[in-house]
Every structure is written in C-alpha cells, then in structure tokens.
Amino acid sequence: MEEIFYYIGVIGSFALAISGALVAMNKRLDPFGVLIVAFVTAVGGGTLRDILIEGRDIFWITDPNYIYFILGGAVFAMIFQDRLEILRVQLLLFDTIGLALFTVIGVQVGLSFDFNYTICIILGVITGAFGGVSRDILVNEIPVIFQKEIYATISIIGGGFYIILVHFECKDGIYQLLPIALIIALRLIVVYKEITLPSIYKENE
C-alpha cells in the first residue's frame, strides 16, 4: 500500500511540475525561471508542512527522487509546450490526483505526530494546496485558489472525511482510498459543472 502511495506521490509531483511550468511559460520566464516555478509548485506544499513540524526533515531533501521527476516534468513541459493543450484533460486529472493524494499524505503526517484533528486537516490543505499558492506569488499574481476555484475547499472536505474515518478506526489501506476518491470526484464535478463558492459580496456594489 505504502509503495503505491509513494509512486502516486511522485507522479503527482510530475504533474504539478508541468502545471507550474505552464504558468511560468505563460509569463514568458526564462528556462531557469520555469524550472524554479515548476519545482516550487510541486514541492511547496509539502515543504511548508515539513518546515512547520519541528523535528521533521524536508521530504525532498531526504528523498531526492522527487527532484528528478520534477526536473523531468519541467523539461517535458518546455519541449511539448505547444502540444500540451491536447493533454489538458489528462493534466487536470493528474493535478487532481496530486491534490487528493497530497491532502491525505498531509493529514497522515499530522496524525503520525499526534496533532489535534484541526491541525491535521490544516496540514492536509497546506500539503495539497500551498504549492499552487507559492507558484502564484512567484509569478506575481493573487493566488488563483483565493479567487475562483474551490480547490482548497475540496481539500478541507476530503481531509475532514479522512479524519472521520480515522476517528472511527477505519485505518486500513482500503479506507484511505475513500477520501482520495471523494476529492477527485468533487473536483471533477466542480470543474465540469463550473461551480464556484457562493459570493459573500452584494451584487450591485
């Protein structure tokens, strides 16, 4: 089970690196800039989580394999930039798998340190969503997840669902797949139906 998680995690990094590289190329950064933005998009969430947890090593320093996959993702995006339009659906799927898996991994890490449930969910959201936030800060945009996508809200829901399962001692590998499936399903529905969070602002302001 753990091994499967690991491989999906690596694939998630690869997908997030591509997503970061595409945003960077849209801003016409030079190759090094594209590489850095890809790297930060892929590892930003997990890195902040590991910085916040006293006594925990940064995951990609302990296991540099992530770096090679991210480098691969960035180079792949630079080479195939014209043709990636065709792969949009696959990319969204990878990105969504990344969100789902990174959220669950973040919650797991929190649980392994015996943190309060609220903290675990926050660590899940940070792991799943902060990479995209740092990407947007680097390219000088207001983070997109603060504005229109329900990205992070779905991460909270999935993380909360995972905590409920854990609380009722559903800890087997098979149960860990449920919140992952929930996050993927919700995100695909949201993107397909173009659902947004209800506005908190009055219309004709």
Residues that bind a second copy (CB under 8 A): 24-25, 27-34, 36-37, 47, 51-58, 61, 64, 67-68, 78, 81, 115-116, 118-119, 122, 133, 137-143, 145-148, 150, 152-153, 196-201
> Which residue, 105 or 133, is less far from a second copy as judged by CB?
133
Find out whether 49 and 128 touch, Cβ atoms under 8 Å. no
Distances (CA, A) of 102 to 22, 148, 193: 20, 21, 24
Handedness of CA 17, 79, 184, 187 (dihedral sign): positive
> Which residue, 168 or 201, is less far from a second copy as judged by CB?
201
Q: Residue 67 Cβ, how far from a second copy at the closest point, in Å?
A: 6
Give the relative orientation of helices 88-112 and 31-52 as an angle to the nearest 10 degrees.
Answer: 30
Q: Residue 77 Cβ, how far from a second copy at the closest point, in Å?
A: 10
Q: Residue 57 Cβ, how far from a second copy at the closest point, in Å?
A: 5
Q: Under 8 Å CB-to-CB from 126, ≥6 apart: which residues?
A: 45, 48, 49, 52, 106
> Which residue, 4 or 52, is less far from a second copy as judged by CB?
52
> Which residue, 100 or 138, is less far from a second copy as judged by CB?
138
Find out whether 121 and 163 touch, Cβ atoms under 8 Å. yes
Q: Residue 177 Cβ, how far from a second copy at the closest point, in Å?
A: 25
> Which residue, 7 or 146, is less far from a second copy as judged by CB?
146
CA distance 95 to 13: 9
Q: Residue 73 Cβ, how far from a second copy at the closest point, in Å?
A: 15
User: How would DSSP label each residue in 132-157?
Assistant: HHHHHHHTT---GGGTT--HHHHHHH
